[in-house]
Amino acid sequence: MVELWDPALKDNLLAYVMFVFPWGKRGTPLENFKGPRDWQKEELNNISYHIAENKKLILNGKMPIVYKSATASGRGVGKSALVGMIVNWFLTTRIGATIIVTANTESQLRTKTWPEVGKWHTMAINSHWFDKSALSLKPFPWFEQALKKQLKVDTGYYYAQAQLWSEENPDAFAGAHNQNGMLLIFDESSGIPSPIWKVSEGFFTEPILDRYWFNFSNPRRNTGEFFECFHRYRDYWRRRNLDSRTVEGTDINYLNEQILRHGEDSDEARVEVKGEFPRQGDKQFISREIITNAIDRQIEPDEHAALIMGVDPARYGDDSTVIRFRQGRNARLIAPIVMKGADNMAVANKCAELIQKYNPDAVCIDAGNGTGIIDRLREMKYKVFEVWFGGKSDEQEWANKRTELWDRMRDWLGGGCIDKEQDLIDDLSGPQYKFMGSSDKIMLETKEEMKRRGFSSPDHGDALACTFAVKVARQDFKTRRGGRSTRARGMDFDPLE
């Protein structure tokens, strides 16, 4: 105890790991290993440096920060082994602290992640301190009594636990706050849904020294919270993409064989070997690559292309009404308008203002929740086009009109350009598709289904999709100069069938 609780080991993770486990000892699972792998050593040293910096912050009267680490890797790099080392270190040196370990599925947690934690517990020099059960590690009675009597430690929340979760009841995953320290580990976190991530943030509200959140996963999905650790929220995470071929102890010949079999730049090679996110998920309707290219693409102005205005009215309290414009291949010409909490009259008045300002050739409004807006605009003598997302598609392949319009938008993105608005990026990449009925028609998932997966309503995506509900004839320069306002206020547009 004196040695393990000495700061020389307690706050120096690599030294601790080398001391506690039987590296190179004959007859043990570590007989042929001299120490952790290089990338594991790097992570252990990063944690040690973080501890030292946090102590400096506290000495200077500042708030300590949370250690947040995300590792996306190929197969066989030793993610679970590092989890075992970290759990043992934290449980041993942060007396009274709480450790929560979870994974993408119950099977993964019970048969892979937690057994690996148990293996490292068994190898540790102090394994007799803790009692391992099917889903937990807790102090043995003798150790617990000694802590209570001699150190006056409250052991009520002193444990490491493999915790299951339910997407339908995410609050059940929420745990107690612990002044002695909190460690949260997500294994295969690419498959853990957004609601579990959100409640997990509550683990770290206490401004204490020892707060750690680790995420390990093969990067199987290019949407979701794990993906966003490397993109939208990259400034808040220590990130690592780990190619299996660069890690000592992996079968490089086999890994190279997988590269040759599937292709150097295939999604299989990216995910299973290179530790990179796929270009498109299995059920993703629009790939990130298409979206990224549309953001980067530069388009020459086309003044003769029709300007179309799309409106997606809010449906629920946390949704927004979004108005977007598209002129030919250019959807970044006019900035989007977002209205939160606005009633139908306020939206109708805003639409009228924008029609007067920009003189669009067509105004397309989602009629599912926008009938009041449409009626008001028509009372004001504006010509608008109703878009019934739930209506019948003109093409046999699609189950409804919304899916058809998203397909048109997807094709357009191959040559169009969009603004670098994160909400639009998330909306375009978020929806998945499914097959409906005996005819196997393809249907884009509903907003309600996306919310159940923890995704926001794709208001920006639907607003842009509305601009594909009509095809408007190109105008020559003179007509465009003089006639746009008249057409938007009453004259019929010319659909191209």
| Domain termination residue (choose one: 249, 274, 299) | 274
Do 377 and 363 contact (CB within 8 A), yes or no?
yes
Residue with tokens 């590690």: 137
In what helix (H) or strand (E) does residue 455 lie, and over which residues does it extend?
none
Classify residue 360: in a domain, yes or no: yes
Residues 326 and 220 in one domain: no
Question: Are 80 and 213 in contact, with CB atoms under 8 Å apart?
Answer: no
Q: CA-CA distance, 489 to 485, in Å (whole number)?
A: 6
Share of the chain above pLDDT 90, in %: 71
**Which residue in 210, 201, 151 sits closest to 10, CA to CA?**
210
Task: Give which of 283, 266, 282, 294 is closest to 411, Cα–Cα.
Answer: 294
**Residue in 435, 424, 434 with CA at minimum distance from that of residue 465:** 424
> Which CATH number do you get for residue 402?
3.30.420.240
Shared-domain flag, residues 248 and 293: no
Extended beta strands in 20-129, E state: 67-73, 98-103
The verdict on 329 and 461 lying in the same domain is yes
Q: What is the pLDDT of residue 256?
A: 93
Q: Please report whether residue 495 resides in a domain.
A: no
Please indicate, yes or no, whether residues 260 and 327 belong to a single structural domain of this protein. no
For 35: left if phi > 0, alpha if psi spans -120 to 50, otherwise beta; the answer is: left
Averaged confidence pLDDT in the chain = 90
Cα–Cα distance for residue pair 390/173, rounded to 1 Å? 36
Which residue type occupies 41?
K
Q: Which residue type does 452 have?
A: R
- Whether 497 is in a domain gets the answer no
Q: Are residues 217 and 72 in the same domain?
A: yes
Report the CATH number at residue 238: 3.40.50.300
Q: Which residue, among 387, 392, 418, has the nearest Cα to 311 in the 3D structure?
A: 387
Q: Are residues 169 and 40 in the same domain?
A: yes
Write the single-letter amino acid at 11. D
> What pLDDT score does 488 carry?
45
Edge-to-edge order in the sheet of strand 337-339: 337-339, 321-327, 307-312, 362-366, 385-387
Cβ-contact 444, 454 below 8 angstroms? no
Residue 297 lies in a domain: yes
Regarding whether 297 and 249 lie in a shared domain, the answer is no
Residue 368 lies in a domain: yes
Query: Is the same domain home to 326 and 448?
Result: yes
Q: pLDDT band at residue 357, thresholds of 50, 70 and 90?
A: very high
Q: Which of 436, 432, 435 is nearest to 445 (CA)?
A: 432
**Residue 1 within a domain:** no
Indicate if 313 and 213 belong to the same structural domain.
no
CA distances from 289 to 272, 402, 407, 414, 426 (A): 19, 22, 16, 10, 13
> Is there a single domain that holds both residue 257 and residue 350?
no
Last residue of a domain, one of 243, 274, 305: 274
Question: Whole-angstrom distance between the N-terminal and C-terminal Cα of the chain?
Answer: 80
User: For position 365, what pLDDT does the model report?
Assistant: 97
pTM for the predicted model, two decimal places: 0.73
User: pLDDT band at residue 175, thresholds of 50, 70 and 90?
Assistant: confident
In this structure, is residue 282 part of a structural domain? Answer: no
Range of the domain at 324: 288-489
Tens digit of each residue's pLDDT (9 = 90 or more) over 35-85: 999 999 999 999 999 999 999 999 999 999 999 999 999 999 999 999 999
Examine residue 404 and state whether it is found in any structural domain, yes or no: yes
DSSP string, 319-384: --EEEEEEETTBSSSS--EEESS--HHHHHHHHHHHHHHH--SEEEEETTTTHHHHHHHHHTT---
Total domains in the fold of the chain? 2
Do 340 and 244 sit in the same domain of this protein?
no
As a whole-number percent, the residues of the chain with pLDDT over 70 amount to 94
Domain boundary among 225, 249, 274: 274
Both 334 and 194 in a single domain? no
